Amino acid sequence: MNILNVLKQKNFVTKKQFGQNFITDLNLLNAIADDAEISVDDTVIEIGTGAGTLTRILSERASMVYTFEIDERLAPVLEETLADKNNVKIKFADILKVDPEELKDLTKKPFKVVANLPYYITTPVLFYFLENDFPLLSLTVMVQREVALRMTAKNNTADYGVLSLAVQSRGDVKITRQVGKNMFFPPPNVDSAVVRIVMGEGIGERKMFDRLVKCAFACRRKTLVNNLIRSFGLERGEAEKIMIDAGLDPNVRGEALDKEQFLNLSKILDEKKV
């Protein structure tokens, strides 16, 4: 099936506001499904159905695919491209406005997320799935290369920040492949990458950890002590003692701490009930 011909026949014109950059290369579509390790027992949530190209591949491997698309103009296209796929349920909705409980009720079992994410909603969608209590097994997402580097960044690098720790504190993350802009229709302005997050046990109590991470990167150029004083209302001496108790140099910046150091410091802050 030639997707470009279907789009033309249905008089479909992409809208930049929806970040519509469709993948048409069959090898790449299969490679994404390979990266996601989709098998016959899997339930898949797809974000951004688009023309249904990735959806078809996923449906050929998974038990069930629930796919969310914000642009209802694609309905005639999908009626043709997915006409023979009985294990696909299309939901025309903004995933960010879907109640998490509704999504849990929909799947009724653990699921994997696979998506060619529109760039403009990449970070909100990631946090939607990471911060809600879903029975989530993994996320395999096509994202802007810049975002992929942030997701996988290590401490003491320019890309390291809140997103890095939000992802890495919840599972194992890696870039599975680089994707050039020429692989899309229409081509975006930047290159992309496929990132896979395999969910782990996480770090337990998250509230203080997340609060500390946001505090640490609120003003990157300031020392962590100064950010603690500003965000937690601590006196300088108290903030410095907390850092020392955590085995940290009071003059260190937040970007220097790895996940385990953030976790240790958050536990100390929790114990002091700051």
Name all contacts of 265-269 with Cβ < 8 Å and 24+ positions apart.
265/212, 266/208, 266/209, 266/211, 266/212, 267/208, 268/242, 269/208, 269/212, 269/232, 269/242
- What is the DSSP code string of 109-140? S-EEEEEE--GGGHHHHHHHHHHS---EEEEE
Nearest to 38 by CA among 113, 143, 142, 133: 113
Nearest to 26 by CA among 63, 6, 56: 56
> What tokens were used for 208?
């203080």
Which residues of the chain are under the pLDDT cut of 50?
none
How much is the pLDDT for 40? 96
Q: How many CB atoms lie within 10 A of CB 50?
A: 28
Domain locations in the chain as residue ranges: 3-199, 207-271
Q: How many CB atoms lie within 10 A of CB 224?
A: 27
How much is the pLDDT for 10? 83
Instruction: Give the three-state DSSP class for 95.
Output: helix
**Distance in angstroms (rounded) separating the CA atoms of residues 200 and 161:** 20
The pTM assigned to this predicted structure is 0.91
Contact yes or no for 77/51 (Cβ under 8 A)? yes
How much is the pLDDT for 43? 98
How much is the pLDDT for 192? 96
| CATH class label, 3-199 | alpha beta
How much is the pLDDT for 2? 79
**Distance in angstroms (rounded) separating the CA atoms of residues 157 and 265:** 20
Cα dist from 40 to 28, 64, 202, whole Å: 20, 9, 27
Cα dist from 198 to 110, 170, 255, 260, whole Å: 13, 8, 24, 19
How much is the pLDDT for 173? 97
Q: What is the pLDDT of residues 94-144, one digit of tens each?
A: 999 999 999 999 999 999 999 999 888 999 999 999 999 899 999 999 999
Q: To which CATH superfamily is domain 207-271 assigned?
A: rRNA adenine dimethylase, C-terminal domain (1.10.8.100)
> What tokens were used for 92?
């025309």
Listed in sequence order, the residues at least 6 apart from 271 whose beta carbon sits closer than 8 Å to its beta carbon are none
> What tokens were used for 123?
């970070």
Amino acid identity of residue 193, one-letter, is: A
